[in-house]
Amino acid sequence: MDIRLGGLETAQVGALLAEHVEDMRRYSPPESVPALDRDRLRTPDLTFWSAWEGAEVLGCAALRELDPTHGELKSMRTAPAHRRRGVAAALLDHVVAEGRRRGYTRLSLETGAPAEFAPARTMYAAYGFTPCGPFGPYVDDEFSVFMTLVLDTPLSETPVSETPVSKTQALAP
Position 36 scores a pLDDT of 77
Could you tell me if 82 and 58 are in contact, meaning their C-beta atoms sit under 8 angstroms apart? Answer: yes
Pairing status of strand 165-166 against strand 144-150: unpaired
The stretch 22-51 carries a mean pLDDT of 82
Position 153 scores a pLDDT of 57
The stretch 62-90 carries a mean pLDDT of 94
Residue 161's pLDDT band (cuts 50, 70, 90)? very low
Position 39 scores a pLDDT of 84
C-alpha 159: how far from its chain's center?
18
Based on C-alpha coordinates, what's the Rg of the chain? Answer: 15
